[in-house]
């Protein structure tokens, strides 16, 4: 059973996209270079690192890929189990993601900033945060809000351009609503990355940035749970 896309659910996906940018700022600038949500990059980072070029860490990429896989499996099992019992699986999923990000922040408490040599603590944080992002990707796939995958912008950007008056692709939906979602997906991911990088630049410690992201996910879930039924359709 899936929540039917509506204004409240779309707002949730936009908020989660912003938070992805914040999380990836910590991942790339502090824990790697590595991604925790955008696993296409890690597949390539792992391939590049095996040639020992570019100073990339195969351990960091592997930790992220492994954590993501575990998170996706556990997220699927959790959300399916809650859904089967007729409960609000989306809210439960967001609370679980926030908890994992909180654990990642606590694990990162000894990491002070950008440029530190990678250690076992860095890899552990990468794995935990990637687990949260694996769960997130399951959540967004189940929510099925078009053009808002929350963890990447490539498809949204392609659809934005393909559905624009410049292209008018006959297989890509056009219209103000669809184009608005696509624009939001790209712009908000950029804004989240900018916010996360700015916080690190201003010497906000990485654990605090991750705690901020965790708080954002938790607040998003609670606000969605409290939204009027007209704006927050229940699982059908």
Give the range of the structural domain holding residue 71, as residue numbers without chain letter: 12-224
* Residue 5, in any domain of the structure: no
- pTM confidence score: 0.92
- pLDDT for residue 233 is more than 70: no
* Residue 234, in any domain of the structure: no
- pLDDT for residue 80 is more than 60: yes
Q: Categorize the per-residue pLDDT at 171 as very low, low, confident or very high, splitting at 50, 70 and 90.
A: confident
What pLDDT does residue 109 have? 95
* Residue 230, in any domain of the structure: no
Tell whether omega for the bond before 33 is within 30 degrees of 0, i.e. cis.
yes
* Residue 215, in any domain of the structure: yes
Query: For 64-75, what is each residue's pLDDT tens digit?
Result: 999 999 999 999
* Residue 3, in any domain of the structure: no
* Residue 115, in any domain of the structure: yes
Query: For 44-55, what is each residue's pLDDT tens digit?
Result: 999 999 998 888
How does the average pLDDT of the chain come out, rounded? 92
Residue 164 CA, chain-centre distance (Å), reads: 26
* Residue 231, in any domain of the structure: no
Average pLDDT value for residue range 158-182: 89
- Tally of domains in the chain: 1
- pLDDT for residue 158 is more than 80: yes
Query: For 1-53, what is each residue's pLDDT tens digit?
Result: 444 458 899 999 999 999 999 999 999 999 999 999 999 999 999 999 999 88
* Residue 229, in any domain of the structure: no
Average pLDDT value for residue range 206-230: 91
């Amino acid at each position: 059973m899936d929540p039917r896309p509506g204004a409240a659910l779309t707002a949730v996906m936009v908020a989660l996209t912003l938070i992805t940018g914040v999380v990836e700022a910590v991942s790339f600038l502090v824990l790697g270079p590595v991604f925790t949500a955008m696993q296409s990059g890690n597949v390539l980072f792992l391939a590049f690192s095996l040639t020992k070029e570019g100073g990339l860490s195969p351990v960091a990429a592997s930790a992220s890929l492994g954590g993501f896989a575990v998170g996706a499996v556990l997220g699927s099992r959790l959300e399916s189990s809650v859904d089967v019992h007729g409960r609000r699986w989306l809210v439960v999923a967001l609370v679980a993601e926030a908890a994992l990000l909180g654990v990642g922040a606590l694990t990162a408490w000894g990491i002070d900033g950008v440029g530190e040599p990678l250690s076992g603590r860095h890899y552990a944080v990468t794995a935990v945060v990637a687990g949260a992002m694996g769960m997130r990707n399951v959540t967004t796939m189940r929510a099925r809000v078009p053009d808002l995958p929350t963890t990447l912008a490539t498809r949204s950007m392609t659809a934005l351009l393909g559905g624009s008056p410049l292209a008018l692709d006959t297989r890509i939906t056009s219209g103000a609503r669809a184009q608005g979602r696509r624009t939001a997906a790209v712009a908000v991911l950029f804004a989240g990355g900018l916010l996360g990088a700015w916080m690190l630049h201003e010497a906000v410690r990485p654990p605090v940035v991750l705690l901020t992201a965790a708080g954002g996910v938790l607040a998003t879930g609670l606000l969605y749970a409290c939204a009027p039924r007209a704006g927050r359709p229940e699982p059908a």
